[in-house]
Chains A and B, each alone.
Chain A
Amino acid sequence: MSRGVGVSLQDVWIKFGDFVAVREANVDIQGGAFFSFLGPSGCGKTTILRSVSGFLDPSQGKIIIGGNDMAGIGPNKRPTALIFQNLALFPLMKVWENIAFSLEVKGVGTAARRKRADELLDMIALTGQGDKLPSELSGGQKQRVAIARALCAEPDVLLLDEPLSALDLKLRQHMRTELREIQQRVGITFIYITHDQSEALTMSDHVAVMKAGVIDQISDGQTIYDDPSTPFVASFVGENNVFRGKVKSIDGDKALISTNRSGDLLSRIPLSAKGTLGVGDDAMMFIRPEALSIAKDDAAANNHVTALVLNEEFEGQTFNVFLEGDGGKEMKMSLVNQGKARESAKGSSLTLEYAPDQAIVLPAGELASE
């Protein structure tokens, strides 16, 4: 049922003068997929989107949509529709005129346009609101109108540029589900841009994580989270406790890292780092806050870390403990709230443990700066 077409970027470079906004991007997006570009602001993800929609030409490389090279084809000729960050609804046109604009420019008659707009209004649950002006709608309603307007053009690929960033938290969460539902219903390819990792992880089939113009990893959400391929991805997607050190020994898919401050720690080597990580290399080890727990005994072991409780923060289903490890290293541990008395009184010293399978080690690299 999928009528979405594939999009691929082949060795795409985009430069503005001397500044390289996108470096050697190679992406293959399957037809009908929900694909996200995730990265901090200024990483070049919007630039990629604009080059796919045709507002700028790559300095080098090809953009192929549905098997056709898009070089020299303007935005109005491409089978894409873009939902802008600020939605860009035409303020002087009524809602239905906004929705049916793509038909208007094709010369479709008023009655047919109105009919199509009403169908789409039904779909986005705004039946009967077609004669309002965009300024008379709420944020979420505007959002849905923007989606309807883009869908009305019957694009093969829908491009979304952080469309939820202006909404409040509750609405944002609601719209996530709604977007995903719409995507599954219409079955076209969605390319989604966001700096919000939970948006990317909840909605997408695949996520590309970008850093400073470079795509670090393309994978499904689970892999990105569990098996990040670079320190940047590990630290940008979700929270992580970072331990720097050197590889002491390697045994199968496990490595022993001699950390600068917390002694020797055992960790799993993810697939992406296998073969690239050798004994004596600078390495970074990552342990998620939820992978830490309070150790059953205080004995020194290579999956034990000692730390001082600085502060705690109760969040309902979890509570977060902020700790200071040896040598002043800051750490965070998230414990599931099981209603029992907490053992992590402020100022007390704790020994933490983790399952070595849940820790990963990667060649040292750049971290996402918070």
Chain B
Amino acid sequence: MKSQNLVLKIFLGLYLAIFFSYLLGPLIIMGVTAFNSPGFPRAAPWECLTFEWFEVLSNDKRIMTGLKNSLIVGSGTVILSVVLGLAGALMLTQIYPKLRATFYTIVIAPILIPGVVLGISTLVFWDRLNIMLGLSGDSFLHNGIFLTILGQSTFIASYCMLVFLARLQRFDMGLTEAALDLGATNVQAFRKVLVPFLMPAIASAAVLAFLASFENYNTTTFTFGKYPTLTIELAQKVRYGINPSISALAFTIVVLTIFAAVTHEVTQRRKQLALASGATVSAIRGDGFLLPGFLRSNPAAIVLLVLSVGAVATVGFASTYSPDSCKVVVREQKRALQQKQIEKIKQQRLQQQRDKATKGPDIFGADKSKVAPQSGFATKSPGVGAFGNVFAPTNLDKTQPKPESKTESPGKGAFGNVFAPTNLNETGPKKP
């Protein structure tokens, strides 16, 4: 029996390890690439610790505009979907039982309808309405922010409704009646009794709505018009050329997320502890003396503390650290290797051109332009990340003049000729 338990435990541990490395591994690797100096996001081989990608990120105007649009769309969607979801949930508690199933099916359907379809239908409907009303192409019905908020709210409101329904199930309708009986108007009863009860649900629905809106791509990609959101901008960048500033953005988001999640966990935990000890929340909060004990029994609080210290230390370190000396060393190594390899590569280039001809015209050049050259590098220059940089200048445009770009321009010429000019031109016009 005991050995069987042990086997079970080992299997369970193994399974959990695999599961969570699948879950968290990609994020960790992506985070690491944000601090590695090569222009193509990669974790290995490690070259130089750098914080420049964060700087690149903060100087990227399109990302920043996208962020602004995302925040506008997000706030609009939060308001609209929380209101609609709440109304839907309240309606569902009152509607005739016979109609209830039909109503539920209709309002829950947007969750299951592919986001692409929602985006298209929103676009088509308002566009045709616009034509029907004889309005011009720049009327508000065509406004990207307006359309995106409506399109996203269609299904995000369903999510919100589910959150409200779960909370409403525990609401005693007698409380509303009690308020009315004590002389409250319907609106007063709603505002003073039902809304405070729903407050936690409203908060979580709002967070959920904002996150869903912020990360939505499928619907937004059809409706954004002249106002690309952050997600749209990211998708453009990722599809047509990637660099570690995206990793830097992801890293920032992950850290903020962990921070928010852990803070949430800590406050939840604190409330639970307070309930368990029979005291009110304010008692524990006000009493500094209790805190050490509270820390001991709360791993999440320790994580929070470590995180905060780590964040402060990192920022402090980043403001003084300079990767320049490291980069010089790496550059010297690369230059030496390059000289040797350029000859070799030139020969292979002919070979590759012949290969490409046999493969035929490639419609999906956008993807290939990124994939194929790298494969070329990886084979020809094992262990040298430098060649990733070769492509950085083309991908990054002029946003970041780097010291490497000059030294490596011969390399760019050598390879870029093979694929880049034609393929990149093809992808270029696709960018809106």
Per the 8 Å Cβ criterion, residues 77-118 of A in contact with B are: 77, 80-82, 84, 86, 88, 90-93, 101-102, 104-106
The contact of A102 among B182, B185, B196, by CB within 8 Å, is: B182
Residues of chain A touching chain B, judged by Cβ–Cβ distance below 8 Å, are 53-55, 74-77, 80-82, 84, 86, 88, 90-93, 101-102, 104-106, 149-150, 153
The contact of A81 among B174, B182, B184, B193, by CB within 8 Å, is: B182
Q: Mark B176-199, 1 if CB is under 8 A from A, else 0.
A: 011111111100100011001100
Chain B interface, >50% SS class: helix
Given contacts A81-B181, A104-B192, 9 further A-B contacts (CB under 8 A): A55-B181, A76-B180, A76-B185, A88-B175, A90-B179, A91-B197, A105-B179, A105-B184, A105-B192
The contact of B183 among A92, A93, A102, by CB within 8 Å, is: A102
Count how many pairs of residues, one from A and one from B, have CB atoms less than 8 Å apart in the complex.
Answer: 61
The contact of A88 among B174, B185, B188, B197, by CB within 8 Å, is: B174
Per the 8 Å Cβ criterion, residues 159-182 of B in contact with A are: 172, 174-175, 177-182
The contact of B197 among A81, A92, A104, by CB within 8 Å, is: A92
Cβ contacts under 8 Å, B192 to chain A? 101, 104-105
- On whether A86 and B174 interact (CB within 8 A), knowing A92-B197, A105-B192, the answer reads yes
- On whether A101 and B184 interact (CB within 8 A), knowing A90-B193, A92-B196, A92-B197, the answer reads yes
Q: Are A84 and B178 in contact (CB under 8 A)?
A: yes
Expressed in whole angstroms, the Cα–Cα distance for A92 and B191 within the complex equals 13
Nearest-neighbor residue (CB-CB) of A97 within chain B: B192
Expressed in whole angstroms, the Cα–Cα distance for A315 and B163 within the complex equals 54
- On whether A55 and B177 interact (CB within 8 A), knowing A90-B193, A105-B188, A105-B192, the answer reads yes
Expressed in whole angstroms, the Cα–Cα distance for A93 and B184 within the complex equals 15
Expressed in whole angstroms, the Cα–Cα distance for A81 and B179 within the complex equals 10
Cβ contacts under 8 Å, B177 to chain A? 55, 75, 82, 84, 88
Q: Are A80 and B181 in contact (CB under 8 A)?
A: yes
The contact of A75 among B172, B175, B180, by CB within 8 Å, is: B180
Report, nearest first, the 5 A-B pairs whose CB atoms are least far apart: A88-B178, A102-B182, A88-B174, A105-B184, A75-B180
Per the 8 Å Cβ criterion, residues 36-85 of B in contact with A are: none
Nearest-neighbor residue (CB-CB) of A84 within chain B: B174
The contact of A76 among B172, B174, B184, B193, by CB within 8 Å, is: B184
Cβ contacts under 8 Å, A77 to chain B? 183
- On whether A105 and B174 interact (CB within 8 A), knowing A90-B193, A92-B196, A92-B197, the answer reads no
Q: List 19 A-B contacts (CB under 8 A).
A: A54-B181, A55-B177, A74-B180, A75-B180, A76-B181, A76-B183, A81-B182, A82-B177, A82-B178, A86-B174, A88-B174, A88-B177, A90-B193, A91-B175, A101-B182, A101-B192, A105-B192, A106-B183, A149-B182
What distance in Å separates the Cβ of A367 from its nearest Cβ neighbour in chain B?
33
What distance in Å separates the Cβ of A64 from its nearest Cβ neighbour in chain B?
19
What distance in Å separates the Cβ of A10 from its nearest Cβ neighbour in chain B?
23
Q: Are B193 and A105 in contact (CB under 8 A)?
A: no
Expressed in whole angstroms, the Cα–Cα distance for A91 and B179 within the complex equals 12
Expressed in whole angstroms, the Cα–Cα distance for A93 and B182 within the complex equals 15
What distance in Å separates the Cβ of B227 from its nearest Cβ neighbour in chain A?
40
Expressed in whole angstroms, the Cα–Cα distance for A91 and B196 within the complex equals 10
Expressed in whole angstroms, the Cα–Cα distance for A200 and B183 within the complex equals 28
Expressed in whole angstroms, the Cα–Cα distance for A76 and B193 within the complex equals 15
What distance in Å separates the Cβ of B241 from its nearest Cβ neighbour in chain A?
53
Expressed in whole angstroms, the Cα–Cα distance for A53 and B177 within the complex equals 10
What distance in Å separates the Cβ of A104 from its nearest Cβ neighbour in chain B?
7
Q: Are A105 and B196 in contact (CB under 8 A)?
A: no
Expressed in whole angstroms, the Cα–Cα distance for A370 and B416 within the complex equals 95
Cβ contacts under 8 Å, A53 to chain B? 181
Q: Which of A88, A91, A106 has the most CB of B within 10 A?
A: A88
Q: Are A101 and B180 in contact (CB under 8 A)?
A: no
Cβ contacts under 8 Å, B196 to chain A? 92-93
What distance in Å separates the Cβ of A135 from its nearest Cβ neighbour in chain B?
10
Expressed in whole angstroms, the Cα–Cα distance for A92 and B178 within the complex equals 14
Nearest-neighbor residue (CB-CB) of A146 within chain B: B178
The contact of B181 among A82, A91, A92, A93, by CB within 8 Å, is: A82
Q: Are B182 and A153 in contact (CB under 8 A)?
A: yes
Cβ contacts under 8 Å, A106 to chain B? 183
Expressed in whole angstroms, the Cα–Cα distance for A153 and B193 within the complex equals 17
Q: Which of B172, B175, B178 has the most CB of A within 10 A?
A: B178
Per the 8 Å Cβ criterion, residues 186-234 of B in contact with A are: 188, 192-193, 196-197
What distance in Å separates the Cβ of B284 from its nearest Cβ neighbour in chain A?
15
Expressed in whole angstroms, the Cα–Cα distance for A92 and B167 within the complex equals 14
Expressed in whole angstroms, the Cα–Cα distance for A164 and B185 within the complex equals 28
Expressed in whole angstroms, the Cα–Cα distance for A276 and B400 within the complex equals 108
Expressed in whole angstroms, the Cα–Cα distance for A92 and B177 within the complex equals 16
What distance in Å separates the Cβ of A32 from its nearest Cβ neighbour in chain B?
21
What distance in Å separates the Cβ of A313 from its nearest Cβ neighbour in chain B?
39
